[in-house]
Chain A
Amino acid sequence: MNNIVGIVNYGIAGNVHSIKKAIEKAGGVVQIINIKEEFNSVDKIVIPGVGSFKDAIHELKNDNLFESLKKAIISKPTLGICLGMQILSSIGFEYGKTEGLCVVDAEVHPIRVEAKVPHVGFNKIDVIKSNKLLSTIENEEFYFMHSYEVVNFHDVVSTATYENHLFVSSIQKDNIFGVQFHPEKSREAGIKLFKNFIEL
């Protein structure tokens, strides 16, 4: 059974706990990755997301995880959640300009909407490319909590709309997945998403 999901634990930010619980609820086996050697013993990777783009990259480098994570993403199915999705991009513009993991050709900008920011709450997604990760949960609502959005033209799987502003809600490039929302906070639909990820 080659199905251990590694959650990358970096810096003092990160909502590792919530994601671990949700994956276990979905029937998965979780290993927390604290040091780079631990990438070898997992089959899939989840990059959590609470924090700022700049700090996340800084902490990954500080914890000596950055390069190994980049390598692991290429060979193992990976799911980035919220900020964890955003840092897959080439460049982020939160508290200055920061280079990301550069595994997806995208930029991260402040969300361009004339409404309250951050965008917080349950919102529907629109799936524009059918996808294993979102299988059977295409019409569900997911919990969003973000002030920045991924700008990408090639790898968009689903969008969402916040007060007339259309933005990217999930991406996929090969075995690299990213979701702007928080499946670990999206009731049963989120658990199902993790189930889909485990079964990839």
Chain B
Amino acid sequence: MKTRVIVKLDVKPPYVVKPVHFEGLRKIGFPAELAKKYYNQGADEVIYIDIVASLYRRDILFDEIESTANELFIPLGVGGGVRNIEDFSKLFHSGADKVIINTYAVQENPEIINQAAQIFGSQAVVVNIEAKKWDNWYECYSDGGKVQSGKDVLEWVKEVEQSGAGEIILQSIDCDGLKKGFDIELAKQVVDSVNIPVVVSSGAGKLEDIKELIEYARPSGVAIASLLHYDEYTIGEIKNYMIENIIGVSG
């Protein structure tokens, strides 16, 4: 199976921003425009995460999502501030194909994963992991890397798989936005711990980083933000690189 190339849009409505270390924010553009641009470049999927909805306990902005989904004929995963089944439903009706959840599940009610999977199907329920590295373990964080949960990443991913999650997005708080490469050890441990697809995010700074990640950890997908947002590479260039370097990639 080819490794999916996924674009990650971190959104602080109305802008796509680029968080550095989950802290400082740089405005990149509008989600609908960027989604269209990356679709035209050949992206396999778009992930849209409202990075402030959860922290400020405010509602997700459905209009923003609807306009992003417009004219986007590839899958759109949406997350940020999802707290109940109604949120899931509204997001699907706004054009999301998958709903991404972290904070509410990891901090308050893991049971929501199972409830959502039963109603919407596992394939539509994605759990986002914000991993923070400690001496000999990784801890799950939430709210854009701001709140600890005390949960061990490797135990949590197995729990969410058991609960019916269909996919995991793995972010590394330590590597996010730094463009110094992925935490490939973390990625490998998570990929090997579960039987559901794992999409690895956080850290791509050069094309070789992607090759190293895929060859070492074999994730189902790689999520990219900075490399694209600053126009260093197009999706086409990234895919060509992957094809030429033997890594399977969606045409």
Given contacts A141-B251, A147-B123, A118 and B73 within 8 Å (CB-CB): no
Inter-chain contact B195/A121, CB cutoff 8 Å: no
Number of contacts between A and B (CB, 8 Å)?
Answer: 119
Which B97-133 residues sit within 8 Å CB-CB of chain A?
97-98, 117-124
Q: Give chain A nearest CB distance to B113 CB in angstroms.
A: 14
Q: Indicate if B94 sits at the interface (CB-CB under 8 A).
A: yes
On chain A, the residues within 8 Å of B251 by CB distance are: 122, 141
Inter-chain contact B2/A55, CB cutoff 8 Å: no
Inter-chain contact A120/B197, CB cutoff 8 Å: yes
Q: Give chain B nearest CB distance to A16 CB in angstroms.
A: 7
Q: Give chain A nearest CB distance to B91 CB in angstroms.
A: 10
Given contacts A13-B121, A15-B97, A118 and B89 within 8 Å (CB-CB): no
Q: Indicate if A182 sits at the interface (CB-CB under 8 A).
A: yes
Inter-chain contact A50/B73, CB cutoff 8 Å: no
Q: Indicate if A14 sits at the interface (CB-CB under 8 A).
A: yes
Q: How far is the CA of A184 from the CA of B70 in the complex (A)?
A: 12
Q: How far is the CA of A52 from the CA of B118 in the complex (A)?
A: 6
Inter-chain contact B250/A121, CB cutoff 8 Å: yes
Q: Indicate if B243 sits at the interface (CB-CB under 8 A).
A: no
Interface residues on A, range: 35 or more
Binary contact track A107-122/B, C-beta < 8 Å → 1, others 0: 0000000011111111
Residue from A12, A115, A120, A190 within 8 A of B123 (CB atoms): A120
Q: Indicate if B183 sits at the interface (CB-CB under 8 A).
A: no
Q: Give chain B nearest CB distance to A8 CB in angstroms.
A: 15
Given contacts A18-B97, A117-B195, A145-B75, A12 and B1 within 8 Å (CB-CB): no
Which A45-97 residues sit within 8 Å CB-CB of chain B?
50-52, 54-55, 83, 94-95
Given contacts A120-B197, A122-B4, 9 further A-B contacts (CB under 8 A): A12-B85, A15-B97, A17-B66, A51-B124, A54-B118, A119-B1, A120-B220, A145-B75, A185-B75
Q: Which residues of A pack against B, CB within 8 Å?
A: 12-18, 21-22, 25, 50-52, 54-55, 83, 94-95, 115-123, 141, 143, 145-147, 162-163, 182, 184-188, 190-191
